[in-house]
Amino acid sequence: MPPSERLNNQQVADIFHRIGDLLQILGDNRFKIIAYQNAARTIENLSQDIRAIHEAGTLRDLPDVGQAIAEKIAELLDSGNIAYYDELAEQVPHGVVDILAVPDVGPKTAARLWKELDIVGIDQLKAAAEEGRIRALKGFGAKSEEKILRGIELLSKRQEGRMPIGQARPLAVELIADLQERLPAGAIERIEAAGSLRRWRETIGDLDLLVVSEQPAAVMDAFRTLPQAVDVINAGDTKSTIALPSGLQVDLRVVERKHWGAALCYFTGSQRHNIDLRELAQKQGWSLNEYRLAAQGHPDLPDGEERFFDSEEELYNFLGLDWVPPEMREGQGEIAAAREHKLPDLITVDHIVGEIHGHTDWSDGQATLVEMAEAARRRGYRYWCVTDHSAGLGVTGGLDGERLHAQAKEIAALNEKYAADGVDFRLLRGTEVEILADGSLGLPDDVLAELDIVVASIHSALRQDRDTITERCLKAVRNPHVDVLGHPTGRLIGRREGSEIDMDAVLHACVEVGTVVEINAHPSRLDLSGVHARRAMELGCKLAINSDAHAADGMEILPYGIATARRGWLRSQDVINTRPLNEMLALLKK
Ligand code: DGT
Ligand code: CA
Ligand code: CA
Ligand code: ZN
């Protein structure tokens, strides 16, 4: 078998990412760079093996894969390399590309470090930063050296191989469907993805599927021979582990029906929650494992007497607890709350009646205003606020005052039509205005004053030091026109650390002046995080959960934001876009 035979989707994607990196270092055309990056993302998100697609001759049907890229994928799969890649790689030392993995070192910096200081590797970069040699570059100082050193440290510690939940969840859903399809009806009585996926953690180490079946051998066989199983890592009678094309591993266990409650609880975790639960059981004279409770030092029962649970709820109740939603099972006080019957009534997707942050093709969105409004209506929303980017962000077609006025006319016409048709839906006028490096906003006050909702966010100069970026945010939060602080840290999960913002100071200010804080639901952001959302709620902040949709199907990712809110213990009353239009508007600053 030629070496290329073993390339998995991630490895193929990595090569296309790398072409993008090389083109950036070489200062090539922006659109070309974006084309390679998009193709790489498409490939790493595929649920099917890329080789199977190539063999079926349907590479061109993939989104973002044009003729040139399809040919390169084919070349890579057939021959094990891409001549174009080799050609580019020859022009740039290997180590220069490695440097790109250091957080906050982009291609421009890497190119300068290489050309001006001859730095061609992470070790050299580290030495240069330690010796204070980088400050010789124009625009760099002692601070930048510190930052680079911290970045190198972070890189070495970064959890390896965790997949963002936005990638892992669709894979799990598909696995479950495929497995069911490959087995006779009724063979699988129950199936659930447990582990971190069920708790909706931001990143997933591996998938943990749990099944009840009276035919474990058939289930094991179907699982291990799934087309997505590029490797079988473990093959047991009731437990197997496979690897998917992306490299993600999947555990599957088959248990008896009577073990379901205890097993689902055990394999959902988290480990900390499990430990707390086991200790509580022990105090009551029971030992808990993944199958059952067994008496151990129980006042009335002989040691070893067992209790089984059909459902998690029965297990929790037996121990005197209310059932704990999986998103809360992180060992953060949920067991105590469940014991006192004081668990919050968590927000659900159905509570959301509108969104107040989203985009159209007036800026960088893909759909028209009407298309977005109709998408919102199809979700049963009563309102949707269009918040296209302000001009000057470098985003295609950002809006200045004049274009906002033109957009206003279109919005008014649509609202009139809805009213005339007796449709209970309102489009709101807004903007996502850029918080500039000094904390001023990308649009003048008189323009902002006309809008229904102003979302203010940071997309550039994220790497300012803590004091600077906190002050910058505080200034925006305190601006009387700013209603919502959008994706407050700016992080991109697995790709970019958030800013160093002093979140507590910002949240305090939001409470003080009444600025709403966003949970951006996009699975690459989840910003605020669950931890910060809980802090915001405890401080008395008002929150909003938005998809930040850039396309007609963009609101489908809302459940990720809801789960993040649930991980932050939020209830519907903590979130303003669970309120009808007028109540929601009344909760804003102005
Ligand atoms: P991951 O895969 O790193 O995203 O996180 P989890 O939570 O899915 O962890 P995983 O896959 O290692 O194990 C799944 C669940 O099984 C975990 O949440 C709790 C339970 N579990 C695994 N190992 C242990 C253990 O050593 N002790 C206890 N109490 N529970 C465990
Ligand atoms: Ca797991
Ligand atoms: Ca596991
Ligand atoms: Zn946005």
- Average of per-residue pLDDT values in the chain: 93
**Residue 546 per-residue DSSP state:** E
- Cα separation, 155 vs 161, in Å, equals 13
- Give residue 284's pLDDT band: very low, low, confident or very high (50, 70, 90): very high
**Residue 257 per-residue DSSP state:** G
Please tell me the predicted confidence (pLDDT) of residue 247: 83
Please tell me the predicted confidence (pLDDT) of residue 324: 98
Q: Which atom of ligand 1 is nearest to the CA of 199?
A: 7
Ligand 3: distance of its center to the CA of 249 in Å? Answer: 8
CATH 3.20.20.140 segments of the chain: 349-588
Q: Which atom of ligand 1 is nearest to the CA of 204?
A: 4
Q: Is the previous residue joined to 528 through a cis bond, with omega within 30 degrees of 0?
A: yes
Please tell me the predicted confidence (pLDDT) of residue 514: 98
Please tell me the predicted confidence (pLDDT) of residue 309: 98
Please tell me the predicted confidence (pLDDT) of residue 329: 98
Ligand 4: distance of its center to the CA of 554 in Å? Answer: 11
Which CATH fold would you assign to the domain 9-157? DNA polymerase; domain 1 (1.10.150)
Among candidate residues 389, 277, 410, the one with its CA nearest the CA of residue 334: 277
- Give residue 157's pLDDT band: very low, low, confident or very high (50, 70, 90): low
Ligand 1: distance of its center to the CA of 394 in Å? Answer: 44
At a CB cut-off of 8 Å and minimum separation 6, what does 124 contact?
A: 95
The domain 349-588: what is its CATH number?
A: 3.20.20.140
Closest-CA residue, ligand 1 atom 25, reads 271
Contact yes or no for 95/124 (Cβ under 8 A): yes
Spatial strand order of the sheet with 484-485 comes to 354-355, 383-389, 426-434, 453-457, 484-485, 516-520, 543-546
255 forms beta bridges with 212
pLDDT tens digits, 207-218: 999 999 999 999
Please tell me the predicted confidence (pLDDT) of residue 9: 82
pLDDT tens digits, 171-193: 999 999 999 999 999 999 999 99
Spatial strand order of the sheet with 249-255 comes to 190-193, 207-212, 249-255, 239-243, 231-235
- Cα separation, 486 vs 467, in Å, equals 19
pLDDT tens digits, 531-552: 999 999 999 999 999 999 999 9
pLDDT tens digits, 288-302: 999 999 999 999 999
The mean pLDDT value for 100-108 works out to 83
- Cα separation, 442 vs 344, in Å, equals 39
Please tell me the predicted confidence (pLDDT) of residue 45: 74
Please tell me the predicted confidence (pLDDT) of residue 4: 42
383 forms beta bridges with 354, 426
CA atoms within 13 A on the CB side of 556: 6
Percent of the chain whose pLDDT exceeds 70: 97
- Give residue 258's pLDDT band: very low, low, confident or very high (50, 70, 90): very high
Report, at the CATH architecture level, how domain 163-255 is classified: 2-Layer Sandwich (3.30)
CA atoms within 13 A on the CB side of 146: 6
Contact yes or no for 528/495 (Cβ under 8 A): no
**Residue 370 per-residue DSSP state:** H
Contact yes or no for 546/488 (Cβ under 8 A): no
Ligand 3: distance of its center to the CA of 206 in Å? Answer: 5
At a CB cut-off of 8 Å and minimum separation 6, what does 497 contact?
A: 103, 104, 154, 491
The mean pLDDT value for 263-286 works out to 96
- Cα separation, 461 vs 501, in Å, equals 12
Contact yes or no for 273/316 (Cβ under 8 A): no
Q: Where is average pLDDT lowest: 46-50, 386-390, 404-408, 429-433?
A: 46-50
CATH 3.30.210.10 segments of the chain: 264-339
The mean pLDDT value for 309-313 works out to 98
Closest-CA residue, ligand 1 atom 9, reads 195
With a cut of 70, say whether residue 158 has pLDDT above it.
no
SS3 of 38, please? helix
SS3 of 342, please? coil
The domain 264-339: what is its CATH number?
A: 3.30.210.10
CATH 3.30.460.10 segments of the chain: 163-255
Residue type, 17: H
Backbone angles phi, psi at 428, to 5 degrees: -105, 155
